Structure 1
Amino acid sequence: MDDHLEPAVRAATAADVAAVRAVTDAAYHPYIARIGVVPQPMEADHMADIAAGRVFVTGEPVAGLVVVSAFPDHLFLDSVAVHPDTHGRGVGRRLLHFVEARARALGLPEIRLYTNALMWENQAIYPRYGYELVGRRVDGPYDRLHYRKTLSR
């Protein structure tokens, strides 16, 4: 592979389940102590999400992934996970750009996501990519900040 080409983002397959679990756990595990509960992505049914075509991965081995769901009026970004060993290498940027391209390809006008209010790193990242804070809601043990990005036509 040419060193100047970024690894593609591709649909995850059943063979990726262990890697998806490992990257998700590595990415979210540091937040357990801070937020006081296991982050929802760590409890996801990765096999079911992959089978439903909701999981996209990048890297070989897998360095990062996104979990998305298409709705009639938006693409919901359920999870972004980047392995800590690959921080600073553009994996998260590549994944966020993929999510935007995916929404456009599906003809959806916006992307929505939420993040835990105590995951303050995300509050710095998402606005840099054009996401605006639109609300805050508590859902059980989760205090969530809701963001959206409206895509230009």
Structure 2
Amino acid sequence: MSSNNIQPRKAVLEDSEALVSCIDAAYAKYSNRISEMPSVSEGITEDITHNQVWVAVEADEIIACLVLIKEDGFMKLANLAVHPSHSGKGIGRKLMALSEREAKRQGYNEMRLNTHVDMPENVQLYEYLGWEEVSRIKSTVSMKKRLGL
């Protein structure tokens, strides 16, 4: 199924367990690459309560998510995870586009994110989508994207 059939919706607290499973599955491929990998699904309940969490659902299953955090002067893309059994369908790109629309709708003209040096394919994808690398501090790659309002 293509991403065209998948309509993202805001997450609700009842999604927490399924979100943790989806996020953990999405990041599992990096666990052998990144020794100091943090628990990227930790705090998802707090994110749903205090931030903006979107989910992509197919056949009543959460297959991807997006976490946005309002910061002073920019919107932070805190997490984007697509379940590995659904990668390559354009779902991540659809959620990236949603993040930019939401940031603009809420009055932001800049987005920022952090990724890991041992995730070079993510850095390349973000650059392809118009993000620019701002800094590398230890293992963290910080990126930003200016949005036209």
Scaled by the length of structure 1, the TM-score of the pair is 0.89
Cα displacement string for residues 48-72 of structure 1 (whole angstroms, at most 9, x for unaligned residues): 1111242111123111101110123
Output one character per residue of 1:82-136: Cα deviation in whole Å (capped at 9) or x when no partner. Answer: 0000011111011100000010011001110010100111021101111001111
Pair 1:21–1:103, CA change in 2 (3 A): same
Counterpart for residue 109 of structure 2: 109
Which range moves more in the overlay, 69-78 or 32-41?
32-41
Q: Could you tell me which of 47, 50, 53 is aligned with 1:49?
A: 47
Structure 2 distance, partners of 1:114, 1:5, is: 27
Shift of 1:12: 0.3
In structure 2, the residue matched to 1:77 is 77
Which runs of 5 or more residues in structure 2 are unaligned? none
- Residue 147 (structure 2) pairs with residue 147 (structure 1): no
1:99 aligns to what? Answer: 99
Q: What is the CA RMSD across the aligned residues, in angstroms? A: 1.5
Q: Which amino acid aligns with 1:59?
A: V
Q: Does the Cα contact within 8 Å between 2:116 and 2:140 map onto a contact in 1? A: yes
Give the superposition deviation at 1:38: 2.7
Aligned residue in 1 for 2:118: 118
3-state SS of 1:63 partner: strand
Q: Classify the secondary structure of the residue corresponding to 1:59.
A: strand
Which consecutive residues of structure 1, in runs of 5 or more, have no partner in the other structure? none
Partner amino acid for 1:130? G
Q: How many residues align?
A: 146
TM-fit CA distance, 1:37: 2.0
**Counterpart Cα distance in 2 of 1:56 and 1:75:** 14
Percentage of identical aligned residues: 31
